[in-house]
Amino acid sequence: MRQHRLEFTEPGRVEVKIGQAPQPAADQVLVQTYCSAVSPGTEMLVYRGQWPPGVSVDSTIAALEGTFAYPLAYGYCAVGRVVAKGATVSADWLGRRVFAFHPHQNLFCAKPDTLHPVPDDLDNETALFLPSMETAVNLLLDGSPLIGENIVVIGQGIIGLLTTALLARFPLTTLATLDAHPLRRKASIALGAGESFAPEDADSFSWLGGVPGQGGVADLVYELSGNPSALNTALSLTRFNGRVVVGSWYGAKKAELDLGSFFHRGRISLISSQVSSLAPELTGRWQNRRRLDLAWEMLRQVRPSGCITHRFGLKDAALAYALIDHRPGETIQVIFDYQSTEELSDKTRR
């Protein structure tokens, strides 16, 4: 069996590189991938060449260490099975289904302590959502929603949808969402939003209580659209002493902010949220392990695999990224299915 590895080679272009199957070192295992998920936020920054200069790829993930430069293998949502092990690894790992924060490829080697065994009661496609669900859990920890609050989530990509699904489990007064695409607004309602509006909908601002120059009625707004200009919308919807949690990563994209009207006198708090760390004030009670365990449990409750809109073989990766780039309104979660593609066809001949 040969290794098939996806690489971003330049802005707007991906290629599948084929080589010899890797062999695990003494302290590694070999994982055969079942499926992997595209992160439409971060991966599109890589695809479009919008990665900010001087920022490392991801210092918290062993498979993504280093600085950004093309060609680059990138991705962090893979589920597979351990098919071989090194000499010093316990035989208990053989045959285990595992989740890995690893780029898109059909075979890869990893140390066992970087892998997460998939619970028996979760299927492979549900397990793919682990990073997105962990991010949604982190967003709630950072936003600290309270009983009776009015909350708005801007952006209903997969992170926004999972955040909405978790917020819907709180006793809130209002939970509303904004997204430009009807498909995502429909999914938002299905996952528990009370109302979901298009950003340009004139009724949305008044329904949400926004008064130009005077703020809105939202106690908490999440900006998860990936669009820097949406931050002004978030500020306009927030009430006195409210907070805005920015979970979007804008990369090299920039936009002017209106901080000269209600924001200054309204005592609005802007909070950055990123899953690579926990808020310092929580670390006495929360650790990465506790957050990850909660993410697995939330996957059991939400079962988000219904948000998968497209499945591609890895050989068709260029079509997948072009679809997300040019027709985002047709997609929510795009995944690569390795079991049905020709790169694993020799599996049936062994």
Architecture of domain 2-118+307-349: Alpha-Beta Complex (3.90)
C-alpha count within 13 angstroms, C-beta hemisphere, residue 300: 10
- Given a cut of 70, whether residue 145 has pLDDT beyond it is yes
Residue 163: phi and psi, rounded to 5, are -65, -40
- Given a cut of 90, whether residue 200 has pLDDT beyond it is no
Residues of the chain with CATH 3.90.180.10: 2-118+307-349
Residues of the chain with CATH 3.40.50.720: 131-282
| Mean pLDDT to the nearest integer, 205-216 | 67
Q: Picking from 12-16, 69-73, 152-156, 289-293, which range would have the lowest pLDDT averaged per residue?
A: 69-73
Tokens representing 136 are: 């949604």
Q: Taking Cα atoms as reference points, which of 312, 315, 279 lies closest to residue 14?
A: 315
How is the chain split among helix, strand and coil, in percent rounded to 5?
35, 25, 40
pLDDT above 90: percentage of residues in the chain = 72
Is the distance from CB of 57 to CB of 103 less than 8 angstroms? Answer: no
Is the distance from CB of 161 to CB of 135 less than 8 angstroms? Answer: no
Measured CA to CA, the distance from residue 185 to residue 277 in angstroms comes to 30
Tokens representing 12 are: 């707007």
Tokens representing 107 are: 């075979």
CATH number belonging to the domain at 131-282, selected among 3.40.50.300, 1.10.3720.10, 1.10.620.20, 3.40.50.720: 3.40.50.720
Residue 99 pairs with which residues in a beta bridge?
Answer: 79, 116
Is the distance from CB of 244 to CB of 235 less than 8 angstroms? Answer: yes
pLDDT tier, 346 (very low <50, low <70, confident <90, very high otherwise): very low
Could you report the per-residue pLDDT of 14-41, keeping only the tens digit for each? 999 999 999 999 999 999 999 999 998 8
Could you report the per-residue pLDDT of 92-130, keeping only the tens digit for each? 999 999 999 999 999 999 999 999 999 999 999 999 999
